[in-house]
Chain A
Amino acid sequence: MTMEKTKTTVLIVDDDFDFRNQMEIQLKAAGYQVVTAQGQADAEKKLKDLCPDIAVIDLMMENTDGGFALCYHIKKLYPSVPVIIVTAVTSETGYEFDASTAEEKSWIKADRMLTKPVRFEQLDGEIQKLLNR
């Protein structure tokens, strides 16, 4: 089964206005439905009435690991919704975060980790891959 973009709602959570804005413009141009949130608290509020098809969230927001907490929250509410965590943390601290091994997946909970800067084509590709699984 392949997905239909027009029926796909992407939740974008990032405290960087420009990143949010650009992803929204490009995802909409590609045919997706888009809902944005400015941070963890805002996203949790919106998730009460909204079950997105996929969520793309920033790691470092109000709290340094706000993205992990939000990811956990989404997975608890909607276990089948894929979550992509986008972060600049790798280049910032030298720490490598990647949900590739089973062990890492079990505690990070995200389906995919991407490092900023993220090109739209790359994000679009990852979304399609996760939704067509």
Chain B
Amino acid sequence: METLRVLVVDDEPGMLSSIQRVLRNTRIDLADLETQVNFDVQTSDTGEKALEIISNSPPDILLLDHQLPGMSGLDVLDNIADQKENILTVMITAYASLETAVVAIKRGAYDFLAKPFTPGELKATIRKTAKSLIVTRHARKLAREKRQVRFQFISVLAHELKSPIAALEGYLNIIKDKTAGDDPAVYEKMLDRCSIRLDGMRKLIFDLLDLTRIESGQKKRELNIVDLREIAQRSIESVLPQADSRSITINLLADEKLNMTADPGEIEIILNNLISNAVKYNRDNGRVNIVMTARNGKVNISVSDTGIGMSQQETDRLFNDFVRIKNAKTRNILGSGLGLSIMKKLVNLYEGEISVQSTPDAGTTFTAVLNQHIQQPQENAVLTQHTQQPQENDEHPTNHQVA
């Protein structure tokens, strides 16, 4: 329930009291904005008094008679011209004096009511005015919130970009001034650190571009029938060097023909993120299990690791932008903090969901459930029938063992 303040300015006491009576009993239901409006009514019999009330506590709506004893309604309107964004004025004009109404609108009034009017006409005009006021305020509030979210995102982004720059700058200064003595090996290590921080920065920028493209809908989607196993195998190959160097085993357990309607690039980002996270946050000699199944029109991708795991508190904030779990165990793991935000947005494009289950020091399982066939292209109708038959994954497992 919202209460709008209405100031009624008229020199006829009868008019004032009848408007007051009607408005006090008026309640407007704005269902599409999920709100109800009622009115708090104040009155004034001259323009001068009205201006005083307006300057002390501006109303939301001004019902203003044109013919007043001292200054006219139009004079009042001129005086509050700079507040017309916040105060909507309805001019009350004498019957058949359309001219005054036109002038009033030109000088910033929102609407007019011609005397004599019925309670129904008054209610209809007030309803229209109140709705316009509330819609405008609602839109302004949304725009403000959007600016705020954007500002926060950019502030954090700036910070995330400043850290690697500061690190690089620091090393360059030490190298330039030869602060660290004469041993070239020491400087080699600094250059290695510079490369690592640069790589991190590049990854952040690429992730940011991905995220922006997905959010803005600018990214062109090419939906095809894709083989999930094929994409998963490519993702596995891309993380093999890191996995091998830490003796981490990757297993892929998937239906033989696991087709879905998808943009291969998007699925690749989802799988790359899931699998590379499972390697990054694993322990040496650990395992990564990827299980993919299709049932009842849904594709289920689950990626488990035997890594450091997370607490409930940590998993709760995991999908927010730039959130990276900071603790002794994650100290040396690099990441942009955007991977999961990107994944979540992509999974949404498949009308799906992503969830996480984790036990500290035991491991984490991410599960993405996607719609197998979104916006099915016509020519592939036959394929749909074929792949939607339930496939008993456990009977024909194909095991892809690595390392």
**Which A residues fall within an 8 A CB radius of B?**
15-19, 21-22, 25-26, 29, 38-39, 41-42, 61-62, 88, 91-94, 116-117, 120
Contact = CB atoms under 8 A, between A and B. Distances in A.
A22 B326 contact: no
Q: Which 4 pairs of residues, A with B, have the shortest CB-CB distance?
A: A18-B167, A117-B166, A22-B170, A92-B159
B125 to A, nearest CB: 44
Interface stretch (B61-69, B274-282, B327-335): B327-335
A19 B377 CA distance: 53
Interface of B: 155-156, 158-159, 162-163, 166-167, 169-171, 173-174, 179-181, 193, 197, 326-328, 331-332
A96 B181 CA distance: 38
Contact of B331 (A21, A22, A39, A93): A39
Contacts of B193: 17-18, 21
Given A16-B167, A21-B193, A26-B179, A92 B326 contact: no
A21 B181 CA distance: 14
A29 B177 CA distance: 11
Contacts of B181: 29
A15 B159 contact: no
Given A18-B171, A117-B162, A25 B155 contact: no
Contacts of B174: 22, 25-26
Contacts of A29: 179-181
B307 to A, nearest CB: 18
B151 to A, nearest CB: 9
B156 A92 contact: yes
B328 A62 contact: yes
B328 A91 contact: no
B333 to A, nearest CB: 12
Contact of A18 (B159, B162, B173, B197): B197
Contacts of A15: 326, 331
